[in-house]
Amino acid sequence: MKSKVYTLTGDKGTTSLVGGKRVAKDDIRVEAYGTVDELNAHIGLLAHNSKLDIPGMHELIFKVQNKLFNIGAYLATPQENDTDPVYGLTEDDIVMIERKIDEMDEELPPMRGFILPGGTRLSALCDICRTVTRRAERRVVTLASQAPVNPLVLRFLNRLSDFFFVFARFNNVTNQAEEVLWDKNA
């Protein structure tokens, strides 16, 4: 028998965490995993609404999306201490992102100043992913000040925002789209 999507249990502004504890829908834990979920949706748009011509990029993006689901499940589960493992997230995942950043960055000219978001459509989508990643990171930092969070989560999100920044630049440069620098006098 198929279950219904709507349960009616959240109609009064609460939701259940993994394990059954009910919290307000604006609880910092819900904000943290909700923002990770929002990021994953933006990455889905990036992956399916853009040409990703870099070898291995589709695979990397889908791997990142799966890692974000793991992080969301972890954040939805109250932890005993900050050494509790995050299922499916390891140091190797951070190294994987760093390698892709380094690979793309080798092709880029030095930065000459702050770059305005945009350029190509793909770069603009990367900029949105970068800023939502930063917001997710801020929500997780707030949660970590109140409850145990494995530091690997913050490291992964921090590196992921760097990845989206470099990916945006890489796409602009390889597609000969001008990088527009911030003009504080504009």
For 96-113, write each residue's pLDDT tens digit: 999 999 999 999 999 888
pLDDT at 48 (0 to 100):
84
Max distance between CA atoms of the chain, in angstroms, equals: 63
Least confident segment among 60-64, 67-71, 73-77, 182-186 = 182-186
26-174 maps to CATH 1.20.1200.10: yes
pLDDT per residue as tens digits for the range 114-144: 998 999 999 999 999 999 999 999 999 999 9
CB 161 within 8 A of CB 117: no
Q: What percent of the chain has pLDDT over 70?
A: 95
CA 181, CA 173: separation in Å to the nearest integer?
14
State phi, psi for 47 to the nearest 5 degrees: -70, -35
Distance CA 180, CA 183 (A): 9
Confidence of residue 46 (pLDDT cuts 50, 70, 90): very high
Cα radius of gyration (the chain): 18
Helix (H, G, I), strand (E, B) or coil at 129: helix
Mean pLDDT in residue range 41-48: 93
